[in-house]
Amino acid sequence: KNLVDIILSNNGYNVVNLGIKQPVSAILEAAAEHRADVIGMSGLLVKSTVIMKENLQELNTRGLAANYPVILGGAALTRAYVEQDLHDIYQGEVRYARDAFEGLSLMDALIGVKRGVPGAKLPELKQRRVRTTASALVTPEHPEEAGRSDIATDNRVPAPPFWGTRVVKGIPLREYASWLDESALFKGQWGLKHTRAGDGPSYEELVETEGRPRLRGLLDKLQTDNLLEAAVVHGYFRAVSKGDDLILLDDNGSELTRFTFPRQRRGRRLCLADFFRPQESGESDVVGLQVVTVGSRIGEETARLFESNSYRDYLELHGLSVQLAEALAEYWHARVRGELGIASADPDSLDAMLRTEYQGCRYSLGYPACPDLEDRAKIAGLLRPERIGVHLSEEFQLHPEQSTDAIVVHHPQASYFNAGGRP
Ligand code: B12
């Protein structure tokens, strides 16, 4: 969202950036006060898609839809959701922006139309491809086939080095910086890309001339200015599965907490619970939980850069900070594999590591195998991440932002999958 602010402001628009978690009344007050031409909203988490819908309905109710065209963006949205589902509901214009640049061209079109510029018009709405009736997520045709997946239940259960939780603070940058996903940083965050065929430097050249030198400079700055406070809280818990549930147990076998995961309704019928010994086997399994953070100082520094209009520095540092949080999580997962004695299957190259070609899998809540963000409260309840300065908000977001949690699974067949449930 800050990037959208930067791009629009640099192109002559006056952006009133209200920040996060604004109720619709505050958005509408600001829109009236500043006589806004357009309202934009951004949603990173799936929950915000519901709020956006309610906000649009509120604009309808207040009779304001004709006054305010709306542009929506963010990772949680899809073009079809905005341009069909929300468009059907909203009595004004609503469009999806994949990135800040599409946001800019939409602004130009909306303002052109408003001012009656000859030839100005909004882009056509994107039509959703017609779905075949046999979607991967519909109820099984033969309910009698319903049941567990074919995931093995006779795999070896490793012994953890301890039971319960541990806190590790002050992890040096050099330990996890090597786990940085450069491609996610350069392409996803910094937007390095080859301009056009045969014109300008290639992506690889840009990485050599711009990406890596700037990365090295920033990593040095992070060290010198002492901006990182990498910390982890992790734990090993006894666990069993029962149907779609993963049950965590204390030393006496009493239930500590229980996760209920979605199961694929067709095909392999995978469910995260299947990677753990079933309760009826009489055996118990082990599950890892972790919360990692690179701390709050870096967020203070990026906020300072944004406030002082140092946009390029802001974008680069913010992008690097979020990828470092991801690198720390990946590094810690590797440590856990080592502690469980299953690291011998680890591949040699970082690329293969990032393709998760190792034994086991790190599932972050909110991702398709375990989409329920409310389950984050169960992890926080057991790990108590306040001990490393991390707090879970009412929206089930960890603060500081550069933090991530995970359920760590050791099963050799564990990998990412989509359990459906979402459009
Ligand atoms: C990097 C990343 C992280 C980083 C940083 C997150 C951050 N705050 O930026 C880290 C590792 C910290 C992280 C953590 C988590 N993440 Co994450 N993450 C991503 C990832 C891979 C990229 C996001 C990103 O930085 N994109 C780059 C920026 C520049 O793009 P952007 O934010 O989308 O914004 C652009 C456009 O969308 C558009 N835009 C956005 N808004 C608007 C508004 C207007 C008006 C306009 C015009 C345009 C516009 O313009 C922007 C600039 O071009 C996405 C997946 C994806 N590919 O998007 C998942 C994703 C956002 N994460 C997800 C999840 C689940 C999480 C966690 C909850 C996981 C966990 N259990 O720990 C946590 C939550 C963090 C917390 N503090 O609690 C889910 C969210 C879905 C959901 N269930 O709600 C996603 C979508 C992955 C997925 N496919 O499921 N994550």
For residue 72, what is the enclosing H or E element? strand 70-73
pLDDT digits (tens, 9 = 90+) for 209-226: 999 999 999 999 999 999
Using DSSP's 3-state secondary structure scheme, residue 9 falls into helix
Weakest mean pLDDT among 47-61, 135-149, 260-274 = 135-149
* Domains assigned to the chain: 2-115 (3.40.50.280), 164-409 (3.10.196.10)
315 pocket-lining for ligand 1 (C-beta < 6 Å): no
Mean pLDDT of 322-350: 96
Give the confidence band of 146 by pLDDT, cuts at 50, 70, 90: low
Give the confidence band of 16 by pLDDT, cuts at 50, 70, 90: very high
Alpha-carbon span 254 to 252, nearest angstrom: 6
Q: Is it the case that residue 148 has pLDDT exceeding 70?
A: yes
Mean pLDDT of 292-317: 94
Mean pLDDT of 101-129: 90
Mutation to probe ligand 1, out of 404, 408, 416, 417 (largest number of atoms < 8 A from CB)? 404
Atom of ligand 1 nearest to the CA of 191: 29
pLDDT of residue 421: 52
pLDDT of residue 151: 96
Mutation to probe ligand 1, out of 42, 71, 193 (largest number of atoms < 8 A from CB)? 42
* d(CA 10, ligand 1 centre) in Å: 24
Q: Is it the case that residue 130 has pLDDT exceeding 70?
A: no
326 pocket-lining for ligand 1 (C-beta < 6 Å): yes
Q: Is it the case that residue 302 has pLDDT exceeding 90?
A: yes
pLDDT of residue 314: 94
Give the confidence band of 188 by pLDDT, cuts at 50, 70, 90: very high
* d(CA 142, ligand 1 centre) in Å: 37
Mean pLDDT of 116-141: 67
Q: Is it the case that residue 423 has pLDDT exceeding 80?
A: no
b vs e for 8-35, b when ≥16 Cβ sit within 10 Å of the residue's Cβ?
A: beeeebebeeeeeeeebeebbeebeeee
* d(CA 337, ligand 1 centre) in Å: 27
